[in-house]
Structures are given as structure tokens and as C-alpha cells.
Structure 1
Amino acid sequence: MAERAGFAEEYLAHVEESPDVIPGTASLLRLAGALRTSVAELLGGTADLPPGLGQAGHHPELVELSEQECRDRLSGHGVGRVALYTEHGPAVVPVNYTAVDGSVVYRTAHGSTPGQAVGQEVAFEVDRIDEAMSEGWSVLLVGHAIQAGATAEGSRDLEEEAGSAPWAGGEREVWVRIEPERITGRRIQVR
């Protein structure tokens, strides 16, 4: 990176390791250029903006992901979105999820919107957008949602595998498992 930005390695290391060091405008422009991003993005100025405001890359190509590539991107845990029908119509809500034995599992509260998925066919989506590189991917899983971890032991097992607590906090005692019937994914790559 130092070479691409035209800096001495020692200077770049000093900037990275010293939070009180603020490079000048010219240095920030060189760093942003080397990282193929903007100064605003480099400084975190776009952190609260919705994704997708950046420019499309040169010659983008939409590529289908294989089922294994989709499962690889779903593996582990993170934040995804559940699409379901409620008494008020369709809804899409974010949930902290974990991949367990090929299924998606999330924890929610009794009576919550994500909890209404139990017994329904639902969609679950997870994605990643890299505006600096003008690339990204998305995976869509469709399947039936069932209540999981119905026993105390089952809930403990799921909690151990969860990897993180729900960001929303509060009591989240209902575990929902989405058994996949169909998994598809796409990736935007720039040539």
C-alpha cells in the first residue's frame, strides 16, 4: 500500500498505528487513490449512509453463485433479513443469524415480527457491498420456518453455536430455524 500511495512504509505504519496523527489533504488523496476509494469513505464520513450510493465499476458483470458458494457466504453468523407475511402485509426485518447444519437460525422475542415467520414459507437474504471496489454479492434462501430449540437443552445448544447475541438486546427466547428449499446467489464483479 505504501508503494501504491508513494509513501515510505515507516510513514504509513506510523499513520496506521497513531490515532492522533491526521495526514494532510494531499496525503489523504494519495491514500484514497491507492485504496480506490474517496477521502470521505476513508475517513468514515459515509458510515451512516445507506449502501449503494457509490459509482458502478467499469464493465460490471453479474455472475451466478453456485450453491456451495452461497452456503460459504451464509456460513458463520452475521446480520441478514427475513421476508415474511404478517397480519399487516409483507415485511422485511433484520435479524442476527447463525448458520447451523445447513439451516439459518435466529433468536427473537415472543410476539415479534420475526417470530411470526414460524409455520410460513419465508425468504432470508444476506449481502455484502464493497463500494470502494464497486463489487458485492447477495444470497437468497427460501424455505419453511419452524420453531427450533423447543427444549431448554436445545436452546442452550443453539445459544452456544450462535456466535453473538442479538444486537437489539432484550429477552429473545424464541429460536427460529429456516430449512432451505432453494438457495440462489449473485455476485457483481468488475473486469
Structure 2
Amino acid sequence: MTDADTQRTDAPSNEIPVEECYRLLRTQQVGRLGVNAEHYPLIFPVNYGMDHHTIVIRTSPGTKLTAASHANVTFEVDEIDPIHRSGWSVLVRGLAEEVTDAHGADLVRRTHDAGVAPWAPGEHGHWLRLIPHHVTGRRVVPGELPPAVDPRAYL
């Protein structure tokens, strides 16, 4: 480690309380669903909505649906402000399950009422619910930027 490394000031990162994470999840429409499929972790952008503390995703048949159904998944949402070098990120780990009529009419109705409107064209007749097991969030606030050039480089 050099002196320049120890003098560098990183932007502070602050943990976000769980209830604030849920509030932030409700402010967005697009998140990233992480699944294990085809021997690799895959990440898909998805439109989503919320049913209380459950994430609702409307999707089409295929890899995403197959890999996520009854599987442990991750879900990430963020908002970044590049001008002010700030933002936040919420990460959810939980169990995803495809919603079918077997879940009961009330759950199916609540899932459909979550207001998920896919942006991508095509058939999106399948619904996933992500039941959170662990929710974390971080907020990045502007810090002092390191100098563009190390002043010790000059005689």
C-alpha cells in the first residue's frame, strides 16, 4: 500500500434501514433479477411491482421463469446521480415462486393488482413473487474527491 492509497478519501457508504429499503423499492419500476441458470449466474432487467413486502414480477416463458421458479434469487434496484456522485442500492435475497391458481384467488388477485406493466413487447402471462429472506441497502453520499494528480509527483 502506498501513501497515496492511505490518503485517498472514499465516498462514505451508509446502510439503509429495512423499512426505508422497502420504501425505496416502491419508487422504481425496473430492477434486476439474479438467477442461476445454464451453469452461470444470470441477471435480467425486469419490470416489477410491490404487494406489501413481496416483489411481483410479470414475465414471459423462458430461461428467467424456469430458473427463478421455486429458487433462491437476488433482486437489485438502484438510483444513481452521476452529477453528485451519490445514490442508493437495495439488494433483496429470497425465494421466487411462480403464481398459479393453486395459490388461491386472493393471492392471484393481489399479484395481478400490483400494477406491473412490462415494457418489452410479447406475451407476459406468467407472474413471479419474490418472498424476501434478507433485505439490505446502501446509500452513497458525495465524499472528498482525491486529487487528479498526486502533488508529490512534481519537484
Q: TM-score, normalised by structure 2?
A: 0.76
What residue is the counterpart of 1:22 in the other structure? Answer: none
AA at the equivalent of 2:140: I
2:94 is aligned with 1:107? no
- Number of aligned residue pairs: 133
Classify 1:115/1:165 alpha carbon distance in 2 versus 1 (closer, same or farther; 3 Å). Answer: farther
Bigger relative contact order (CA 8 A; separation at least 6): 2
| 1:161 to partner: Cα distance | 2.3
What residue is the counterpart of 2:120 in the other structure? Answer: 168
Classify 1:118/1:110 alpha carbon distance in 2 versus 1 (closer, same or farther; 3 Å). Answer: same
Work out which of the residue numbers 23, 35, 46 in structure 2 matches 1:95: 46
**Unmatched 5+ residue regions in structure 2?**
1-8, 144-155
**Unmatched 5+ residue regions in structure 1?**
1-57
Counting strand residues as a fraction of each chain, which structure ranks higher? 2
Find the structure with the greater CA-based Rg. Answer: 1
Counting helix residues as a fraction of each chain, which structure ranks higher? 1
- The whole-number CA distance in structure 2 between the counterparts of 1:135 and 1:175 is 33
Work out which of the residue numbers 130, 134, 142 in structure 2 matches 1:182: 134
The share of aligned pairs that are identical, in percent, is 35
Work out which of the residue numbers 11, 14, 17 in structure 2 matches 1:66: 17
- The whole-number CA distance in structure 1 between the counterparts of 2:24 and 2:100 is 24
What residue is the counterpart of 1:9 in the other structure? Answer: none
| 1:114 to partner: Cα distance | 4.2
DSSP-derived class of the 1:190 partner? coil
AA at the equivalent of 2:119: W
Work out which of the residue numbers 77, 83, 86 in structure 2 matches 1:132: 83
Classify 1:74/1:95 alpha carbon distance in 2 versus 1 (closer, same or farther; 3 Å). Answer: same
- The whole-number CA distance in structure 2 between the counterparts of 1:156 and 1:170 is 22
Q: TM-score, normalised by structure 1?
A: 0.63
DSSP-derived class of the 2:128 partner? strand
| 1:96 to partner: Cα distance | 0.1
